[in-house]
Structure 1
């Protein structure tokens, strides 16, 4: 896992721009604390920061190959889980290898197949190849968008990086956010290709972007496709289990300490149990980690989203699987720490967070990084198998909008509620969301004979797999890489995604519950308590002292009469939230305070030019 960046300028020799390339590369130091490297040749400059996972002595980047037509140079981030098979095939085609790294397999694969290499890779990856044979830059991103990659076209080329901060370190890319960027900030829809920062784009998942003297062009090499599902229940369950066994086996490969993120829910418990069984064959134990809050289990109060605390279920799984387990227990002071909040914003480059669920995630990853370098996560199982409340909520099912935005689904306040009325009017978020929804569902193909209900559920599944999951994957990647932790997501293997996506909803919920296929495929591995447990989202603190800390921080912000956050946020609404008694501070009003504090910190840290045009 690494951080990559680069610059292509066809009208200049970038060997004179070493200081700028260094500055761009150093912004990625958190993603790659183990080594750094840069490479420049004429119009191309590449930078790399490495987190060593496979072949620790080898695999240094940028990695180059000399050909009769010119140098081919690669900067690569991620993991190719099928690199062993590809290496064997490439060796048979006459390629010779000097390292044991998957990076060299990707480089040699590009030399053999060009950008058609993308279709052959299984993994999470974002990489860029400078091809000196025809002076082109080729950028490729994995199918599900697990690893991030951004680019910024210039007058004579392009800037690119794993994160926007790498691009913003170049003077050619001003830190500016215009109207549509602000709209992205205040909605949860993740428009494909949109990077929020003005002039910047995201390389979309499953896409190749090629840049030459004529500018960038795109080629989609993978997307979700509607296909008939011919397997019955027993065959589908068996196929899911077979895929999961293979996926976990591949994703356990590493030359550094590994672990699992364990919440006590179905997704992480099944993954942990699979890993434990496979490692036990080699006499190894799985390390597992869970997040908890001081006093939460003892004083837990059930609500509509979270009916049970995680810890008892976590311990059931740890005991049943014999894991080397550790609870990471966080207190209010750490969750409310402004330095931690600032670290989250620096990691994300934007104030698009989830409040204490973001700060706790960062703190969890920091603690894990002290013992492990690679973690397997249960992220995206809800999107793949159908686990969220909105999959079963009739209002969310019927709504002509993104299901997770229906109030009955998430029961969260709207972000626009904190905005000044005149700002909300200009942003017109309702129309932006409506337009985004129509675009998102327009390409979802329908099977011949598919019922109206099954097609509606297919569209809901498609929306989650092409919009919602990308929000969470970005959050997971940016937060984990901020502390140099590689998080792998087995449930995002494209083979599993394709197979389960095309299973009809009646099969995905054959027992009347969420994630029926996953539950049945792993029932032999799970404690009964976890098998029977109802879906519970990532935990959020219930400690009233956290809300009090938010109020105090917001009061300090209100004292800064000229703070630019109040060009966007309604000052009186913030003041009202700071004056409520603690029992009156709902999850919604708390979220408003968190969003305001995030915005203010972002404006302080990045000093962006913000425009409502």
Structure 2
């Protein structure tokens, strides 16, 4: 697991490369490697997980093909044996060390042989001019941000947004519709970021460019069936899912460093915990908040841990420290994410690292694959009744429902975002009118759009912020291949979500965990954002009417009305709206404004980081 960065058909000084490396060193503190040639440069920050004595990046250093790589290749031993049988010499046991030989053997199709999570950059110098190849894994577990300038055909890329800004001259213009994207979809979807000139490489994408030429971008086949026939009766299907998950969890526990398991007390992480415990004693971690709050799951997590006989760790955080924690979290994300659980995620992975663990298995992705969200259930029920399911579903995706957004926006901003909607046009068209049942379309949308943008980038950035590699069994191809083609009734029926996954977990988890009502794994922001709390005072200060109205996008009085409503009649809608606006304001202060007394830098964990200042 690493962080990568570089440039192509461009120039960058050694100082700039060192700056970028420093900005994401938290994700790879064990070594830094750089290779440069005429018009190109590759760099890596290494987090050593497999083959600790080897793994020097760029891989293939000194040869015609050099690679920097972020992620894990779970089938690297099989690939190593195959490549050595073909005459290639693989220098060490590190998983990424197979990549140059794999490319030499299979060319641009080499990614078809990779089983794992990854974002990689490869330079091939065998031709008349160097060639660059970028590639991402099938579902977007490892993001890659880039700035392509079509005028001079230059490219800069990095694993994290703040690091990419370290190249200079990038991120000077925030996308005018970015605030609407945050409120509508909780973070920018598709290839977009908050910046006009920065994009994210989509999952399952190969990007190829020769020095001085235009890029050639190809979305690779997902190799995951989309709406296939029923694979069998419910019992057989559940047994296949359990067997496949058991295999994947076993593989993902393999590392040359200590491995832990995140256990929230919900079905998904609890099932991963139970399966991991079959392979030997495990350490489990759960998050909780000091005081008495709704949605406290610590007793469920403890019950799962006791049954699995793990060494269990409860990480308790104090809500009084949320302002500072929020600033750290927003910094590491690089752009706003409206999910309040981001704070807890950051704190949890920090505690995992402090306890001596470098890898952690999580339950992320199960809801998207197996149909676990309440909004999915409600949409299918409305569609079956002949009602229009889309408005309520889209509001459930949002941080601020459409009607409230209309009241918060100024007339000018409302007109602007109407011409530049938050959802990518093709994605919206497929969601509303594409092939398959309503649940088919929603599942495709959740997996291809929302999961990588909203969940996977958050998990990646906030785990690697503390030098922890998060591994996700439910995002493995084999699990997707079983879950994605399930017919509707195997996922949601009779008011029950994730029917196949619950059946797969039967007998492995405590009855109370299997029978409990589903609840979101989140921070109870509605209860915590109340008058008299530290978080309330912090939000009131940053979201003062004159400050929120200054950019001409929001009606400051309408934002102030949200505080009045939340103080008098607390509810989830007002609380999440205020939380999201607060997250945006913190991000705006860190990445666009020169904060008082700080010049053009912001204090963040590990030292001072340069800011991108708006033009």
The structure 2 residue matched to 1:388, chosen from 351, 373, 377, is 373
Is the 8 Å Cα contact of residues 377 and 495 (structure 2) preserved in structure 1? no
Alignment partner, residue 319 of structure 1: 306
Number of the residue aligned with 2:16: 20
1:568 to 553, 559, 565: 553
Structure 1 residue 340, shift from structure 2 partner: 1.6
Distance in 1 between residues matched to 2:376 and 2:79, nearest whole Å? 38
Deviation string for 1:26-79 (max 9, x for gaps)?
A: 221121122212111112111111111111121121222555xxx211110000
Partner of 2:168: 171
CA contact 1:577–1:585 (8 Å) conserved in 2: no
Distance change (3 Å), C-alpha of 1:596 and 1:456? closer
Q: 1:379 to 1:110 in 2, by over 3 A?
A: same
What is the aligned partner in structure 2 of residue 477 from structure 1? 460
CA distance in 2, matches of 1:190, 1:440: 18
Do the aligned residues in 1 keep the contact of 2:526 with 2:576 (CA within 8 Å)? no
Aligned to 2:608: none
Does 2:440 match 1:458? Answer: yes
1:36 alignment partner in structure 2? 32
Q: 1:262 to 1:178 in 2, by over 3 A?
A: same
Provide the residue aligned with 1:601 in structure 2: 586
The 1:403/1:81 distance shift into structure 2, 3 A limit, reads farther
CA contact (8 A) 2:591 2:613 kept: no
Shift of 1:241: 1.7
1:419 Cα deviation (Å)?
Answer: 3.5
What's the counterpart of residue 328 of structure 1? 315
Q: Give TM-score, length-normalised by structure 1.
A: 0.87
In structure 2, relative to structure 1, the CA distance for the partners of 1:218 and 1:566 (3 Å cut) is closer
Q: Give the 3 Å change call, closer, same or farther, for CA 601–159 of structure 1 in structure 2.
A: same
Q: Give the total of aligned pairs.
A: 578
Does residue 420 of structure 1 match 2:418?
A: no
Greater Cα offset, 553-562 or 31-40: 553-562
1:588 to 573, 576, 596: 573
Aligned to 1:488: 471
SS at match of 1:64: coil
Aligned runs of 1:357-376 on 2, under 5 Å? 357-371=341-355, 372-376=357-361
Q: Secondary structure at the match of 2:209?
A: strand
1:424: Cα distance to partner? 2.7
Question: Please, what is the CA RMSD of the aligned residues?
Answer: 2.7
The residue that corresponds to 2:542 in the other structure is 557
Partner of 2:428: 438
**Contact (CA 8 Å) 1:81, 1:123: kept in 2 or not?**
yes
Q: How far off is 1:180 after superposition?
A: 4.5
2:99 aligned to which of 91, 102, 106: 106
- 1:377 to 2:368 alignment: no
SS at match of 2:170: coil
- Separation of aligned partners in 2, 1:55 and 1:587: 47
Inter-partner Cα distance in structure 1 for 2:120 and 2:97: 12
Deviation at 1:578, TM superposition (A): 4.2
In structure 2, how many angstroms separate the alpha carbons of the residues matched to 1:486 and 1:411? Answer: 28
TM-score by length of 2: 0.87
Shift of 1:504: 0.5
1:431 Cα deviation after fit: 5.1
Are 2:394 and 1:405 aligned? yes
User: Partner of 2:480 in structure 1?
Assistant: 497
Partner Cα separation in structure 1 for residue 6 and residue 132 of structure 2: 10
Counterpart CA distance in 1 for 2:239 and 2:547 is 62
Aligned-partner Cα distance in 2 for 1:429–1:290: 43
Residues 162 and 434 (structure 1), Cα distance of their counterparts in 2 relative to 1, 3 Å cut:
closer
Partner of 2:268: 267
Q: 1:291-302, aligned counterparts within 5 Å?
A: 291-296=287-292, 300=294
SS of 1:585's equivalent in the other structure is coil
Query: 1:37 and 1:511, CA in 2 relative to 1: closer, same or farther beyond 3 A?
Result: same
CA distance in 2, matches of 1:575, 1:509: 40
Residues 458, 4 of structure 1: alpha-carbon distance in 2 compared, 3 angstrom cutoff: same
Q: Structure 1, residues 302-339: CA drift from partner, whole Å, max 9, x if none? A: xxxx6xx41221111111100110111122112x22x2
Which residue in the other structure is 2:202 paired with? 204
C-alpha separation in 1, matches of 2:399 and 2:23: 37
Superposed CA deviations along residues 516-570 of structure 1, whole A, max 9, x for unmatched, are 2112122121111112122211132368554333332233336695678653332
Change (3 A) 1:186 1:605: same
Whether contact under 8 Å (1:225, 1:445) holds in the other structure is no
Gaps of 5+ in 1: 301-305, 447-454
From 82, 91, 96, the counterpart of 2:75:
82
In 2, Cα distance between equivalents of 1:242 and 1:269: 16
Deviation for aligned residue 1:203:
1.2
Per the TM alignment, residue 577 of structure 1 is displaced from its structure 2 partner at its CA by 3.9
Partner of 2:229: 229
Indicate conservation of the 8 Å contact 1:185/1:351, yes or no.
Answer: yes
Deviation of the 1:475 alpha carbon: 1.2
- Structure 1: distance between partners of 2:134 and 2:25: 21
Post-superposition Cα deviations, 1:145-178, rounded to whole Å, max 9, x if no partner, equal 0100122113133111112222221234242122
User: 3-state DSSP class of the match of 1:547?
Assistant: coil
Q: Would you say the 8 A contact 1:554–1:597 is kept in 2?
A: yes
Distance in 2 (alpha carbons) for counterparts of 1:600 and 1:206: 33
Deviates more, 1:93-102 or 1:544-553: 544-553
Does residue 1:153 correspond to 2:168, yes or no?
A: no
Say whether the 8 Å CA contact 1:145–1:473 is kept in structure 2: yes
* Structure 1 residue 393: Cα displacement: 0.7
- C-alpha distance in 1 between matches for 2:550 and 2:26: 28
Over 3 Å counting, the alpha-carbon distance change for 1:400 and 1:2 in structure 2 is same
Deviation at 1:229, TM superposition (A): 2.7
Unaligned runs of 5+ in 2: 593-611
- Give the 3 Å change call, closer, same or farther, for CA 95–404 of structure 1 in structure 2: farther
Q: What does residue 48 of structure 1 align with?
A: 44
